Amino acid sequence: MKKPGHDWRWMGVVVAGLIPGVTLAGETAIGAVTAASGNGINPADTVWVLLSAALVMLMTPGLAFFYGGLVRRKNILSVLMQCFMMLCVVSLQWVFCGYSLSFGPDLSGIIGSLDWVGLRGVGMEPFDYAPTIPHTAFSLFQMMFAVITPALIIGAFAERMRFSAFVVFSLLWTTLVYDPVAHWVWGKGGFLGALGGMGAVDFAGGIVVHINAGMAALAAVIVLGKRKGFPDAISPPHNLPVAVLGAGLLWFGWFGFNAGSALAANHVAVSAFMATHIAGAMGGLIWSLLDWLKFGKPTTLGMITGAVAGLAAVTPGAGYVAISGAIWIGLFSGIICWLAVTALKSKYQYDDSLDAFGVHGVGGIWGTLAVGIWGTKMVNAAGVDGLFYGNPHQLWIQAKAVGITMIYSFVMSLVLFKIVDFVLGLRVKENEEAIGLDLTQHREAGYTLLD
C-alpha cells in the first residue's frame, strides 16, 4: 500500500474535504458519469459521439487543404483563412442561437424556438434526440456539421470574394438557411422530417448539408460571375499533394460524420461506417475510370474528387442502406457527378471554381433520392424501406424534400448574396484578383521560400 503522503490524488481529496465548496475535478467527473449513467447515459455512446465530433471538426481543416491545393498558389491562404474562420464564427453562432433555432422546441414545424439561446437549459442530462448521451454532447456534435456546411460553399466562389463579405454572408446564411433546414429535417416537429413531419429521412446530412450548400454554391456562381480569364487563363491546381492530403482528412473525418450520426456505439454505426467507406471507394474508382476513358489517363484530381462525391452521396443513407446499396450509390455518384462537372459545366460555362455544386449539390441530391430506392429497415429498424424493398412511396417523399430544399436554399442564398453585395460588395477589385487574395485580403503569402 502506498503511503498517503505519496498519493497526490489522496491529498487532493483531503484538501477538497477541508475547504467548503471545493471538490476535486476528477472526482466530480467520475461522480457525474456514475450518476448520469443511472439516468440513462451510456459512457461508451458518449465517448463515441465525442470522438465523432472531433472527427467532424477535423473535416474543416481537411476541406481547407483540399480546396487550398486546388486553387492557384496566390490564393491558398485565403481559402485556409475562410475555412478556419468558420470554426470560429459558426461555433459561436451555434452557441448563441443556432442550436436553439435548429433543435429547440418547435414553432409550427418551421423553426425552433429561442428557449435554448446561449445553450441555456442544455446540460449533462439525456434528452429526446439522443437518450444515451448528454444533451451538451449532442449539441457539440451537431455544431461541427453547422461549421463545415458554409465552408463547403467556398468551393464555388474561391479566388474572387472579399473576406469581409464572406464572413457576413456565412453568418447570415447559417442563421437563415442552415438552421431552418436542419430543423425541418432533423428537429422534432420539423415539417419535412420523420419526427412528426412528412417522413423524409436524412441520416447524416445529404439534405441539410450537401444539397443546402450545393444550391448556395450555385447561387454564388450566378451572382459573382466568372473569374477573370475563365476558363482559358485559369491555371490548374497549384499543389495536388496538398489536395490529396485534404481529401484523405475528409475521408477519415467522414467516418465520424456518418457513423457518428448513429449517436451510439452500436450496429447502425458499424453499418454506416462500412457503407461510407465502400461508397467513397467506389466513387473514386468510377471517376478514375471515366477520366481514363475520356482523357486517356486516370487523374489524381479525378480520383479524389470522385471519392468525395461518393462520400457525399452516401451521407443521407449511410445508416439506412445495406452494403449493396452503398455500392450502387457510390457507383452512380461517380457517373452523375462526373457528368455534372465535365459535361454540364462545359455546356453552360458557369465558374464553380472547385465544383461545390457539381460534387456536393448533385451528390447530395442523388444520395437523398437513393435512400428512397435502397433504404431498408433490415439495416436500421428506425429507418425506412425504399423502392427495392416494397415501398416506392418513400422515393416520392425523398424527392419532395429534395425539391423543397433546393428551392429554399437557392432563393434565400441568392437574396442574401444580393443584399451583402449591395451593402459591402461581394467581389474583390480586378487588380486584387490578379494579385491574389492572400496578399490583398490578408497581407500574407502562402509560400515565402525562394525556389
Summarised one tens digit per residue, pLDDT across range 96-147 is 999 999 999 999 999 999 999 999 999 999 999 999 999 999 999 999 999 9
In tens, the pLDDT along 180-215 reads 999 999 999 999 998 888 999 999 999 999 999 999
Q: Is residue 451 part of a domain?
A: no
| Cα(229)–Cα(323) distance, integer angstroms | 44
- What's the number of domains the chain is made of? 1
Range of the domain at 49: 39-442
Structure confidence at residue 449 as a pLDDT band (50, 70, 90) = low
Q: Is residue 11 part of a domain?
A: no
Report the predicted TM-score, pTM, of the whole model to 2 decimal places.
0.91
Q: Is residue 318 part of a domain?
A: yes
Question: CATH no. for residue 228?
Answer: 1.10.3430.10
- The three cell numbers locating residue 23: 471538490
Q: What is the pLDDT of residue 35?
A: 35
Tell me which of 196 and 344 has the higher pLDDT: 344
Q: Is residue 3 part of a domain?
A: no
| Cα(19)–Cα(283) distance, integer angstroms | 61
Q: Residues 6 or more apart from 336 whose CB is under 8 A from it?
A: 362, 363, 366
Q: 196 near 183, Cβ under 8 Å?
A: no
Percent of the chain with pLDDT over 90: 88
Structure confidence at residue 234 as a pLDDT band (50, 70, 90) = confident
Q: 355 near 332, Cβ under 8 Å?
A: no
- The three cell numbers locating residue 448: 515565402
Lowest mean pLDDT among 154-168, 225-239, 302-316, 410-424: 225-239
Tell me the chain's radius of gyration from C-alpha atoms: 23
Q: 363 near 212, Cβ under 8 Å?
A: no
Q: Residues 6 or more apart from 405 whose CB is under 8 A from it?
A: 181, 184, 192, 207, 211, 212, 215
Average pLDDT, stretch 427-444?
A: 96
Q: Is residue 420 part of a domain?
A: yes
| The residue type at 276 | T
Q: What is the pLDDT of residue 390?
A: 97
Residue the block writes with cell 424493398: 389
**Nearest CA to 53 among 81, 106, 94, 85?**
94
